[in-house]
Structure 1
Amino acid sequence: MTHSTDPTASTPARSQQLFERAQRVIPGGVNSPVRAFRAVGGTPRFIARAQGAHLWDADGQRYIDYIGSWGPMILGHGHPAALEAVQKAALEGFSFGAPTEREVELAEEILRHVPSMEMVRLVSSGTEAGMSAIRLARGATGRSVIVKFNGCYHGHADSLLVKAGSGLATFGHATSAGVPPEVVQHTLVLEYNDVAQLDEAFALHGADIACVIMEPIAGNMNFVRASVPFMQRARELCTQHGALLILDEVMTGFRVALGGAQSLYAQQIPGFAPDLTVLGKVIGGGMPLAAFGGPRAVMEQLAPLGPVYQAGTLSGNPVATACGLATLREISRPGFYDRLAARTRAWMQGLEDAARAEGVPLVTDCEGGMFGFFLLPELPQNYPQVLATDGPRFNRLFHGLLARGVYIAPALYEAGFVSSAHTEDDIAQSVAAAREVFRELSKA
């Protein structure tokens, strides 16, 4: 049987029908832009169900899932422990608008594994957690300027939808319609992994900087690590100037290691810890749940104790906290991350070997159950280098894999995810599919 890398070659009929129907009532036919397949072309697959490491679309076609709902499904889909917890919680009630014991248990479980956090506030989404952490940093410091990095995504809050200007230490310009210039005038955008720019920014604006927010492993420019010197310098400068260092671990938290990416940097930088941490995805196990937290003295600036206001009707939702708590208890079992990392490395090594055999340039990186790959000769260190990736070739790779039942992210700027449900056979099938696609790409 032959498979094409052409996005229009084999569109499942039911997905096509649903997409046409969706576009009449939902902008772009999707409720989050990357799902629309605009970056890769073709028709998005409408998913009907999932189990373990697999998805089935509306036409009944099965795929090996390397998206994992963009990170939360570290146990795979329908894990018995998570399913049982959710069913039991749902029978007790969907939402109360009042505190529950399970919120306390989940908070305690999070803090047990992330020692930089002494208190945590639960919310419903990563965007909500990120914007609340920044508001808290501004309130705690009495300053306005925030520093973010080109290529790092922290949700769609207005002040974060910015890109870098043309010069060093240049304040950003909005990248979304509907965001007034005055909203982003206090957002300073720098290049990721550029220590010199970081030094310059603090030299020019240090007294006004409330916080530096970064992804320790940037998952929205595929998979790009913050170098140890860059992370260390960010910590030093924040400490020296009285700014707060916020690590956005929505993707990496409980995904790359039990203690998140910050635990990996703490092994290489003596005494390293962020001031605030933003979490999401894995802590909800697939349910809408996120959090932000840090030292008691900072967190007590939040209402009702302090002047920084934050609230949410569904924060600490009892069904979501049940799913999150069950997930965290499963992943904290001895040996979980060793097995997960080994499976992820096997997938990346197989992908590299398959590309090399056909003379296709490709490099990979991974940590825990998170991975990325680039159609480049060496790993990029920042967003401009990521942009050098061969986009049209990636699109053909995506559709070639999809046609063979392997579902990776439909955009070259997104990281991928492996779950504990992926088997050796899943990896072997994925590598075999990649080998076929690379063979086609080498002839194109």
Structure 2
Amino acid sequence: MHNGFTKSASLYGEASRFIPGGVNSPVRAFKSVGATPVFIKNGDGAVITDVDGNTYIDYVGSWGPLILGHRHPAVVQALEKCLRTMGTSFGAPTELETELARLIVEALPAMDMVRLVNSGTEATMSAIRLARGYTGRHKVVKFAGCYHGHADFLLIKAGSGALTLGVPTSPGVPPSTAEHTITAPFNDLTTLKEIFNQIGEEIAAVIVEPVPGNMGVVPPAPGFLAGLRDLTREYETVLIFDEVMTGFRVTYGGAQVLYDIEPDLTCLGKVIGGGLPVGAYGGKKEIMAQVSPAGPVYQAGTLSGNPLAVTAGIATLQELKQPGIYDELEAKSARLDAGLKEAAAAADLELTFNRVGSMLCMFFTGEPVTDFDSACRSDTEQFARYFKAMLEKGIYLAPSQFEAAFMSLTHTTEQIDRTIEAAHASLKEIR
């Protein structure tokens, strides 16, 4: 039985007095689904409980980091020990930083060195600064629908043609900032080659989510990532994989291991912090040697590599290194994916399903979703009705059609089957 959202609604009203929009990150506001945000009281494993006492099977997992589930014993114990015996922050080197760095470097064949930061946004903006400093060039290519954080030069949408000036997507971003960012369609090598044919010698970096998760999950087309690697290598352009979401999520090491592609720089976050704020960027030694204090490209951070975040990250990666972990994640994710497809068919709805490992998405469109434009043809109103119906049945999904769902190792077969049962009922309700 659902208890309603009375306390959540009250807390949202109070929060809106002090926090813009009542939330500290926009999608939490539930605006795209026309609802009031649910305020969470606690989480355990694959279950979260809100302040009204409603429990949910959670497929958000703090937007991806909680691959081990909420309050995993190994992570909690490591954090408790760190608090008791070490502290929270020193602004000075600790042995733990090197341990996490070693784990990351050993897992990614393309990475010789890594610098820890505090967020995915810090990682991507720092990597691009480094690419510009290393190449002496200014222009950057990104792909429509790929999200790389909220740095000014990455909040850019495409102009009307392949080489027209980019357009800021937020007030406060100067047009002069946008002129150095070019936006291309994801999974489209033809357009990318046209861009490089004209201005390839001016492009410092191409940054890409190898598996985008912020327009829903969109797998790379066969040959796309390899073609991207070949093209950037030809023009001596730095290829940056933004694996903030996919790193240690789609497999141990990330999408570059899964697809056997070596970028020049990689950005990480989420899973490597075990649920605490963390980011990282790293890559080839000759490029990373340009980062201050080893080189002239400046980047700093007071809380970078703080003991708590690093401790949670180490504990998480040590768990993920165990044999069979990703086979288990794959089996659970495949079970949910197959069940959702059956539910859509039973409701006589033509929907599109994309999945890479433990990242999955159900698009409310009958067309294949291969890029931002095709994702945007989804019926967002129908998704909003589905989201609310699932929430009422105790299933917590991302409150947006254009976000991934995440499987954790703590989701049980019974919970997955309950989710499929709820989907059967919800899809029939909204048909």
Q: TM-score range by the shorter chain?
A: over 0.9
Correspondence 1:132 to 2:126: yes
User: Match of 2:361, as an amino acid?
Assistant: G
Correspondence 1:12 to 2:5: yes
Three-state SS of the structure 2 residue aligned to 1:373 is strand
Residues 60-103 of structure 1 show CA distances to partners (whole Å, capped at 9, x for unaligned) of 11000000000000000011100001111112101010000000
Three-state SS of the structure 2 residue aligned to 1:177 is coil
Name 2:28's counterpart in structure 1: 35
- Counterparts of 2:220 and 2:202 in 1: how far apart (Å)? 24
Name 2:83's counterpart in structure 1: 90
Task: Give the one of 66, 69, 72 matched to 2:65.
Answer: 72
| Displacement of 1:383 | 0.5
Three-state SS of the structure 1 residue aligned to 2:266 is strand
Correspondence 1:427 to 2:416: yes
Correspondence 1:46 to 2:39: yes
Name 1:6's counterpart in structure 2: none
Three-state SS of the structure 2 residue aligned to 1:24 is helix
User: Match of 1:134, as an amino acid?
Assistant: I
Three-state SS of the structure 2 residue aligned to 1:228 is coil
Name 2:181's counterpart in structure 1: 187
Per mean C-alpha deviation after superposition, the further-off stretch among 356-365 and 425-434 is 356-365
User: Match of 2:241, as an amino acid?
Assistant: L
Matched positions, count:
430
Residues 272-296 of structure 1 show CA distances to partners (whole Å, capped at 9, x for unaligned) of 3100000000000100011000011
- Counterparts of 1:196 and 1:169 in 2: how far apart (Å)? 13
User: Match of 2:379, as an amino acid?
Assistant: D
Whether the 8 Å contact between 1:371 and 1:415 is mirrored in structure 2 is yes
| Displacement of 1:248 | 0.3
Name 1:303's counterpart in structure 2: 292
Name 1:7's counterpart in structure 2: none
- Counterparts of 2:102 and 2:368 in 1: how far apart (Å)? 38
Three-state SS of the structure 2 residue aligned to 1:401 is helix
Three-state SS of the structure 1 residue aligned to 2:240 is strand
| Displacement of 1:239 | 0.6
For residues 391-410 of structure 1, what are the structure 2 equivalents within 5 Å?
Answer: 391-410=380-399
- Counterparts of 1:300 and 1:138 in 2: how far apart (Å)? 14
Whether the 8 Å contact between 2:4 and 2:52 is mirrored in structure 1 is no
Three-state SS of the structure 1 residue aligned to 2:33 is coil
Whether the 8 Å contact between 1:171 and 1:189 is mirrored in structure 2 is no
User: Match of 1:176, as an amino acid?
Assistant: S
Name 2:269's counterpart in structure 1: 280
Correspondence 1:55 to 2:48: yes
Name 2:190's counterpart in structure 1: 196
- Counterparts of 2:310 and 2:140 in 1: how far apart (Å)? 31
| Displacement of 1:348 | 1.1
Whether the 8 Å contact between 2:367 and 2:374 is mirrored in structure 1 is no
Residues 171-216 of structure 1 show CA distances to partners (whole Å, capped at 9, x for unaligned) of 3110000011111110011111111110011011101000000000
Task: Give the one of 358, 369, 377 matched to 2:347.
Answer: 358
Name 2:401's counterpart in structure 1: 412
Question: TM (normalized to structure 2)?
Answer: 0.98
Correspondence 1:227 to 2:216: no
Structure 1 unpaired stretches of 5+? 4-9, 267-271
Correspondence 1:382 to 2:371: yes
Whether the 8 Å contact between 2:352 and 2:369 is mirrored in structure 1 is no
Task: Give the one of 204, 211, 221 matched to 1:210.
Answer: 204
Correspondence 1:110 to 2:104: yes
Whether the 8 Å contact between 1:370 and 1:417 is mirrored in structure 2 is yes
User: Match of 1:53, as an amino acid?
Assistant: A
- Counterparts of 2:222 and 2:111 in 1: how far apart (Å)? 21
Question: TM (normalized to structure 1)?
Answer: 0.95
Whether the 8 Å contact between 2:219 and 2:355 is mirrored in structure 1 is no
Q: What is the identity percentage for the equivalent residue pairs of Structure 1 and Structure 2? A: 51
- Counterparts of 1:415 and 1:169 in 2: how far apart (Å)? 30
Whether the 8 Å contact between 1:11 and 1:43 is mirrored in structure 2 is no
Name 1:151's counterpart in structure 2: 145
Whether the 8 Å contact between 2:219 and 2:354 is mirrored in structure 1 is no
Residues 334-366 of structure 1 show CA distances to partners (whole Å, capped at 9, x for unaligned) of 000000111011111111101101101122122
Whether the 8 Å contact between 2:207 and 2:242 is mirrored in structure 1 is yes
Task: Give the one of 114, 120, 134 matched to 1:120.
Answer: 114
- Counterparts of 1:228 and 1:119 in 2: how far apart (Å)? 29
Name 1:335's counterpart in structure 2: 324
- Counterparts of 1:40 and 1:114 in 2: how far apart (Å)? 38
Residues 134-179 of structure 1 show CA distances to partners (whole Å, capped at 9, x for unaligned) of 0000000000000001100000000000001111233311000001
Three-state SS of the structure 1 residue aligned to 2:263 is coil
- Counterparts of 1:359 and 1:299 in 2: how far apart (Å)? 53
- Counterparts of 2:216 and 2:368 in 1: how far apart (Å)? 11
User: Match of 2:187, as an amino acid?
Assistant: N
